[in-house]
Amino acid sequence: MECLTEEHIKQRAKVLFFTTGILDASTQEIADFAGVNRTLVNYYFRSKKNLFHIVYTEIITEMRTNFAAIYVSNVTFREKVEALIDYTTEFRETYPFLEIFNIQETSKLNNRLETVLRPTCMEETGFFLKEIEEEMKKGTIPAYEPINFLINLMSLISFPIVMKPIFREIFCISTEEQYQRIYNQRKEMVMTILFNNVNQ
């Protein structure tokens, strides 16, 4: 018999932290957001730090698994890149504040996150980087440091999502529809950019 409340608090905490972006939420806020008594947060997770760590690890693990699966999947290179774009988009839209937290944490000296992030540095990434290198030799994509291909991909997809509220401010994009129109043409555009400005 699983405890519903425990899972419920976890799910709501995920949303509060990484979707809504209240990274410094107090236990009271977390409890309110989950609609439970504050003490329950401590009852199930001992401390706020612990809850945060659990929630964070879960999301990172999920992400890592999905990326790894794409890296080694049995499809063409181009299809892999498309899958990466799609998944990155979906993931970033779900948890736009995860990276924000990552960056802040990594900056702090006393970060124990290394242990969580470190295994991201996995063989699947290496495998895919080799594939990128081959494509560069074939001339399918421009030849640079292979890592820069991935950095470009991440940057062109993630940044606009994470920065959405900022971009809307500085470019005076008043309606959500306007931003969507601008954003919708990005996937195709990014594919074109990555693949040597050659369509299909």
Give the residue ranges of DSSP H helices in 15-96.
Answer: 27-34, 38-45, 48-72, 77-94
Of DNA, a second copy, none, which one sits near residue 117, judging by CB under 5 to 8 A according to partner kind? a second copy
DSSP 74: S
Q: Is 172 left (phi over 0), alpha (psi -120 to 50) or beta?
A: left
Tokens standing for residue 160: 């606009």
* Span of 50-58, 69-77, 78-86, 166-174 interacting with a second copy by CB under 8 A: 166-174
- Cβ-based neighbours of 73, under 8 Å, separated by 6 or more: 80, 83
Other Cβ atoms less than 10 A from the Cβ of 100: the count is 14
Handedness of CA 15, 11, 24, 109 (dihedral sign): negative
Does 144 bind a second copy (CB under 8 A)? Our answer is yes
DSSP 148: H
Does 26 bind DNA (CB under 7 A)? Our answer is yes
Does 69 bind a second copy (CB under 8 A)? Our answer is no
Q: How many CA atoms lie within 13 A of 108 on its CB side?
A: 9
Q: Which lies closer to DNA via its Cβ, residue 28 or residue 73?
A: 28
Tokens standing for residue 198: 């050659």
- Cβ-based neighbours of 99, under 8 Å, separated by 6 or more: 92, 158, 162
Does 104 bind a second copy (CB under 8 A)? Our answer is yes
* Contacting DNA within 34-53 (CB under 7 A): 36-40, 42-43, 46-49
Q: How far is the CB of 180 from a second copy (least distance, A)?
A: 11
- Radius of gyration, CA atoms only, the chain: 19
Does 54 bind a second copy (CB under 8 A)? Our answer is no
Identified binder of a second copy from the candidate list 61, 159, 176, 180, rule CB under 8 A: 159
Q: Which lies closer to DNA via its Cβ, residue 28 or residue 178?
A: 28
- Contact residues toward a second copy (CB under 8 A) are 20-24, 97, 99-100, 102-104, 106-108, 114, 117-118, 120-121, 125, 142, 144-145, 147-148, 150-152, 154-156, 158-160, 162-163, 165-167, 169-173, 181-182, 185-186, 189, 192-193, 196-197
- Contact residues toward DNA (CB under 7 A) are 1, 3, 5-6, 26-28, 36-40, 42-43, 46-49
